[in-house]
Amino acid sequence: MFISKRNFFFLAAMTYLSLGLDWQAHGGNRQAGDVSTDRENVAIGGYDTVAYFTDGKPTQGSSDHEFVWNGARWWFASGAHRDMFASQPESYAPRFGGYCVMAMIDGARFRPDPEAWAIVDGRLYLSGDREGIIAFQQDTSGNIRQADERWEALHK
């Protein structure tokens, strides 16, 4: 029996929720306006969201250049990147709170692999893995539309 990656994410999320597992203990956050964080409340694995735009690659940030926004601790590779983010966080923050865009299509929140990313129309999207970002890129406008609908439904 073959199960697509998308259906696998959906089934995994439903199993996870039906078993009543502690989402917070695994780095999730269920609050409206939430951000994908780890146990220390650091967003997207401590990666510098500005670096995706300025350097064109994922770059690990540092707590030395931290900025708190939207209930999460955001780390940056430099003070300049921190200041850029602080002046326009909505421009640099990943869509869907940094959760996996492909899982969001199914209404699930999974922490991303910050190495699996794409910038579309000036917005940063993260995925759970490289295969997911490839699938995302096959129909970016359709996938974004579906993920937007689910994100909105989760926050009503």
> Any idea what DSSP says for residue 30?
-
DSSP run (H or E) holding 124: strand 123-127
The model's confidence at residue 2, banded by pLDDT at 50, 70 and 90, is low
What percent of the chain is modeled with pLDDT above 90? 72
Separation CA 107–CA 9 (nearest Å): 10
Q: Is the pLDDT of residue 34 over 90?
A: no
Separation CA 131–CA 133 (nearest Å): 6
The model's confidence at residue 3, banded by pLDDT at 50, 70 and 90, is low
pLDDT for 66 equals 98
User: What would the two tokens of residue 15 be?
Assistant: 């199993």
The verdict on residue 47 lying in a domain is yes
Contact assessment for residue 42 and residue 73, using Cβ atoms and an 8 Å cutoff: yes
pLDDT for 7 equals 54
What's the pTM? 0.79
Averaged pLDDT, 80-109 = 95
Quickly tell me which residue has 């890129």 as its tokens.
137
Q: How far is CA 80 from the centre of its chain?
A: 22
The verdict on residue 149 lying in a domain is yes
The verdict on residue 146 lying in a domain is yes
The verdict on residue 27 lying in a domain is no
Min mean pLDDT across 3-7, 80-84, 100-104, 115-119 is at 3-7
Please give the residue range of the domain that contains residue 66.
Answer: 32-154
For 50-86, give the DSSP string. HHHHHTSS--B-EEEEEEEETTEEEEESSHHHHHHHH
The verdict on residue 90 lying in a domain is yes
Averaged pLDDT, 49-78 = 97
Secondary structure of residue 123 in the 3-state scheme = strand
The verdict on residue 17 lying in a domain is no
pLDDT for 57 equals 97
Averaged pLDDT, 3-30 = 44
Dihedral (Cα; 25, 28, 30, 31), 10-degree rounding: 110
DSSP run (H or E) holding 20: none
**Domain count of the fold of the chain:** 1
The verdict on residue 11 lying in a domain is no
- Per-residue pLDDT reduced to its tens digit, 119-131: 999 999 999 999 9
The verdict on residue 148 lying in a domain is yes
